[in-house]
Chain A
Amino acid sequence: MFDVYSPSAALRPQELEAVYAISRAVAQAKDIDPALDEIIQLTRSVFIFDNMVIHIAHDGGMLEPVYARVVGRGRSAEADLAWGEGTAQEAYRNVQTTLEHEELDGWQQERLALRDFLGLPLRTGEELMGALVFGRFGGPPYTPDQILLAEFIASHVAQLMGRRKLVEHIANLEADRKLTQLQSDFIATVTHELCTPLGFIKGYATTLLRDDTTWDENVRREFLTIIDEEADRLRELIDSLLDSSRLQAGTLQMQFQNVRLDSFLRDITMRARTCHESVNLALELNAQGIMVQADSTRLAQVFDNLLVNAVKYAPGSQITVTLDIADNMAHVVVHDTGPGISPEHIERLFQRFYRVPDTSASVRGTGLGLYICRQLVNAHNGEITVESRVGEGTTFHIYLPIQQVQLDTTIMQEVIQ
């Protein structure tokens, strides 16, 4: 059934023209698939075929079709990648051009049943990549000239496939490199963040421990306060790191229960006013009785964080927390009238360890807060977004699915100043 052909014939002028065009298409190819399409188109002008399939070998030598075109008579039948698969395997295994002739039952009635397959190994240099098969239905059989031409085309397809493999390989390497870079950046950032408070604790503690000098009571208190605050900062940082890694791994334990958002936000804002006495904070409840499924501790962490950010990065500004309903979701807005954030930083605000460069020096922060906020809101099946204008302020929108609205709901506006 199979026989092997050794080409010897020469190309005719019009074939040479196509051959030249194919070479050029390969040389100039930027993307692999359009280049393949072009080659197939050019091939059709000098070489009749009804279908063609490119098979690429995987580890272990299994061939897998990666590209197929059905033209001419092949179009009347459903494209079938299995056509010529045996020929492809034979060409690949023997690394030789392989011809196969099939006559299926009932071929007298159906031209599609009379099939000539031409299998060509795909290789670049020493590397054997797979095989290319041309199928022709209802003859005529392949002539030596055509086979020579097909071998030429196969060598060019092989070049393209080799290039694709390289591109994929480079992309994989690049992805690996990025991942490694990300991990080492993460470690560097964590180390730096942990070392900063540690450095203060060590520095001020050893200052107080110096036995060659004495400190007056005020200075002692000042240094001890710094040590105390930095120890707190260290603990916060460790908590945040644990939260963020648990959130990333999906192992943070959440305890969901019904939470009534209006009273919840009242508690949050009241606590914020206690913690930050000078804060100018207003609560507007435009919807009442909204119940959401939430882990109240974790949800409180989200709003606490947003309010602390507003106090830190927009000091003295008016902060407004608003609750209403938007698109059937509970919609909480945390708005400040601070300096705002420029557009290039907005997209990256929720990234782990991202901090707006200008503020990093003057305001303490880990770059984890908003990352954790987004992860926590996501864990509530909600969404958090941000918009900001430089000089006008920053607005965070939190959307949470409504569990139910209590029947005594009355839409009213309440302003607690």
Chain B
Amino acid sequence: MSTKILIVDDEPRYVRLMEANLLTEGYQVIPAYNGQEALNIVTNQKPDLVILDIMMPVLDGFTVCERIREFSNIPIIMVTAKGEERDRIRGLDLGADDYIVKPFSATELLARVRAVLRRAQKYDMMPQQSVVTHGNLRIDFARAEVFRDDRMVFLSATEYRLLLQMAQNIGRVIPSEKLLQDVWGEEYSEDKEILWVSISRLRQKLEDDPRDPKHIVTRSGLGYTIPIIE
């Protein structure tokens, strides 16, 4: 079955633009022209990826992203306007996996879509058997589930992949560039911002005190590590 991509934009010409390009790559496209419609489609048709415009009347992209994250870890690419740094951070903060800045080229759009789907796919196919425990944290690789104090923690595909990279290398410091390359892809290795936001989100979800993290620790100037607990 082909990959289903939901495109949400109130400008029909943007929907058409993205649809035309995605169809050539063999993706199945579901268009939506407002936030409410998008939420219904995510619930009922379970697409594999959402491309979500921020500037929409009534229900904006941030709200839609936030609501989707309440019940689904489907990959989300936010579409932001150029120069809106805050929007990008806010989108990532709300759990978006990536963003694309308008105006964008067709090839850039396709590259982003491929990269995000690749990450999500690895998440599904990770052939791990074991369970790793770290303090009050338990990661079940086989089921791709994370528990904190025996309660399941809801992680987006990107967040899970990021945690996985570190959990498979407990005690080792992984450089930021390496994390960016492994989790996001080669083209993201300079994009520290996206890493910081994801690390911060992970800490919010996993740490008792995100300001004094015990699971995901920063090694200044080197990278990040899940330290060995003595």
Contacts and interface: CB of A to CB of B under 8 A. Distances in A.
A299 B141 CA distance: 72
Contacts of B10: 361
A351 interface: no
A206 B106 contact: yes
Nearest to B102: A199
Given A191-B83, A212-B24, A219-B20, 19 more contacts: A192-B55, A195-B81, A196-B11, A198-B103, A200-B14, A200-B17, A202-B103, A203-B14, A203-B103, A203-B106, A206-B107, A207-B17, A210-B21, A210-B107, A213-B24, A230-B13, A357-B57, A361-B56, A361-B57
A212 B106 CA distance: 11
A195 B82 contact: yes
A204 interface: yes
B223 to A, nearest CB: 35
A360 B24 CA distance: 31
Contacts of B104: 199, 202-203
B105 interface: yes
A159 to B, nearest CB: 43
Contacts of A200: 13-14, 17, 103
Interface residues of B, number: 22
B105 A202 contact: yes
A114 B119 CA distance: 96
Contacts of A361: 10, 34, 56-57
A360 B105 contact: no
Contacts of B21: 207, 210
Given A192-B81, A195-B102, A199-B102, A360 B14 contact: no
A226 interface: yes
Contacts of B102: 195, 199
- 9 cross-chain pairs, A with B, having the tightest CB-CB distances, nearest first: A206-B105, A199-B103, A202-B103, A207-B106, A199-B102, A206-B106, A213-B24, A203-B17, A361-B10
A128 B58 CA distance: 54
A207 B14 CA distance: 12
Interface hub of A202, A226, A230, A358 (most chain B Cβ within 10 A):
A202
8 contacts: A191-B81, A191-B83, A192-B55, A198-B103, A203-B109, A204-B17, A207-B20, A210-B107
Interface in A178-202: 191-192, 195-196, 198-202
Interface string A358-386: 10110000000000000000000000000
Contacts of A360: 57
B11 A203 contact: no
Nearest to A206: B105
Contacts of B105: 202-203, 206
A200 B20 CA distance: 13
A131 B182 CA distance: 74
A340 B55 CA distance: 25
Given A192-B55, A200-B13, A361-B10, A210 B83 contact: no
Contacts of B103: 195, 198-203
Most chain B beta-carbon neighbours within 10 Å: one of A191, A198, A207: A207
Interface in B2-31: 10-11, 13-14, 17, 20-21, 24
Contact of A226 (B13, B82, B83): B13
A106 to B, nearest CB: 76
A207 B23 CA distance: 12
Contacts of A213: 24
Contacts of A199: 14, 102-104
A191 to B, nearest CB: 7
A268 to B, nearest CB: 30
Contacts of B17: 200, 203-204, 207
Contacts of A191: 81-83
Contacts of A223: 20
Contacts of A219: 20
Nearest to B109: A203
Interface in B49-82: 55-57, 81-82
